[in-house]
Structure 1
Amino acid sequence: MRPLLMLLLSSTTIAAQAAPVEALKPMAFLAGHCWKGDFPEGKQSDEHCFQWKYDGNVLSDVHTVRTPGKPDYVGETIYYYDSAAKQVAFLYVENGGGYSRGTMTPTATGLEFPATQYVADGHALTYRVRWTPSGADAYEAFSEMNIKDKWVTQFKLVLKKQ
C-alpha cells in the first residue's frame, strides 16, 4: 500500500510541475494531446503530439507525416522561452536530417511562426506558418513558402484533437 501511496503522491507532484512557463501559456491548449489531419488529396496524414517537459520550460511536439506505402516522415520541435531574446523560440529536427530554427508569437487569433528557413541537403526553403484554433478540439495550420520572392501556399490543414 505504501508504494502505491508514494507513486500517487509523486504523480501529483509531477503533474503540478508541468504547468508551463508564462511565455509558453498561449500554446497550452496543444499540450497533452495529439492532433491529426488529412491532407486534401487524402493520401497523407499529419499528426502532432505535444507534451510538456522539464517542469513546463519546454513544449515538445513529435510530428509524423504518414503516406501509405512509404516510411513515415518524423520530426520533433522543441519550443522554449529564449530569455536573452525575450521570445518563444523553437528548434525542429527531422529523420531525414533537415532542421529549422525560428520563433513563435501569440496573436489575437492564434499562433504565428514568422518567416524562417528549413535546411536539408545543403538547400534552404524560407517558410512561415499560422495556427488558428477552431473551437476547443481543432486548429488550422496554414503554411506558406517563399519562392522567387513570392509567398505561395504550401498547405492548409485542419488538425483535430485525438
Structure 2
Amino acid sequence: MRPMLALLLLSSTVAQAAPAEALKPMAFLAGHCWKGEFPGGQQTDEHCFQWTLDGHALRDVHTVRAPGKPDYVGETLYYYDSAAQQVAYLYLENSGGYSHGTMKPTTTGLEFPEARYINGSMVLPYRSQWTIGTDSYEAFSEMYIKDKWTTQLRMVLKKQ
C-alpha cells in the first residue's frame, strides 16, 4: 500500500511541476482586467484574470455593473483536464447559475464550443468566440433559442 501511495504522490507532484501547455493561449489575459461597454453605454462588463493554484488554473472574476442595480458577479476557473486532454472551465455566478465547458485556441483567439448555462430549471445552450487584438479582445456569444442560434453579445473588452 505504501509504495502505491508514494507513487500517487510522486506522480501528482510531477504533473503539477509546470503550468499546462494547453493554458498558454490564455496567458495574455493573466494579470489584467479587461473592460467593455454594452450597447447604449449604460452597463459595463469587466473580467479580471489571475493565475491561481501555482499556475495550474486561470481565475476570471466577471462583474457587470449598471447604475442603480446590484452587480452581477461570476467567477470562472479555467484548467487543463488531463483525462479529456483539453482546457475546461467551471463558471459560477451570484444568482445561482453555473456552466461548464471547454476552450480551444484558434488562429485568431479562443473558441468556447457549445455548453449549457443552468439556473434552476432553466437550461440555455450557448457558445462564444474571443478574437484577440493588441490590447483588447472581442467577445462574441450566441444562445440557442427557439431552434436557432441568436447573437447574445458582441463586445470589445480593452485592457485596463
**In structure 2, C-alpha distance between the alignment counterparts of 1:100 and 1:48, rounded to whole Å:** 17
**In structure 1, C-alpha distance between the alignment counterparts of 2:147 and 2:105, rounded to whole Å:** 26
Name the Cα RMSD after superposition: 1.2
**1:158 counterpart = 2:151:** no
3-state SS, counterpart of residue 160 of structure 1: strand
**In structure 2, C-alpha distance between the alignment counterparts of 1:157 and 1:151, rounded to whole Å:** 17
Partner of 1:142 in structure 2? 140
Cα displacement (A) at 1:21: 2.1
Question: How many correspondences in the alignment?
Answer: 144
Partner of 2:29 in structure 1? 30
Unmatched segments (≥5 aa) in structure 1? 1-16
Once the two structures are superposed, residues 18-72 of structure 1 have per-residue CA deviations (whole angstroms, 9 ceiling, x without a partner) of x742110000000000000001111110000000011110000000000110000
3-state SS, counterpart of residue 42 of structure 1: coil
Kept in 2: contact 1:20–1:28 (CA 8 A): no
Deviating beyond 6 angstroms after TM superposition, the runs of 4 or more aligned structure 1 residues are none
Once the two structures are superposed, residues 88-128 of structure 1 have per-residue CA deviations (whole angstroms, 9 ceiling, x without a partner) of 00000000000000000001110000000000121111000
**In structure 2, C-alpha distance between the alignment counterparts of 1:157 and 1:25, rounded to whole Å:** 23
**In structure 1, C-alpha distance between the alignment counterparts of 2:121 and 2:33, rounded to whole Å:** 32
**In structure 1, C-alpha distance between the alignment counterparts of 2:114 and 2:81, rounded to whole Å:** 18
Unmatched segments (≥5 aa) in structure 2? 1-15
Partner of 1:98 in structure 2? 97
Partner of 2:7 in structure 1? none
Identity across the alignment (%): 72
TM-score, normalisation: structure 1: 0.86
**In structure 1, C-alpha distance between the alignment counterparts of 2:155 and 2:101, rounded to whole Å:** 21
> Superposition pairs for residues 44-123 of structure 1, below 5 Å?
44-123=43-122
3-state SS, counterpart of residue 96 of structure 1: coil
3-state SS, counterpart of residue 24 of structure 1: helix
Partner of 1:11 in structure 2? none
3-state SS, counterpart of residue 55 of structure 1: coil
Partner of 1:43 in structure 2? 42
TM-score, normalisation: structure 2: 0.88
3-state SS, counterpart of residue 84 of structure 1: coil
3-state SS, counterpart of residue 67 of structure 2: coil
**In structure 1, C-alpha distance between the alignment counterparts of 2:121 and 2:94, rounded to whole Å:** 15
Kept in 2: contact 1:20–1:52 (CA 8 A): no
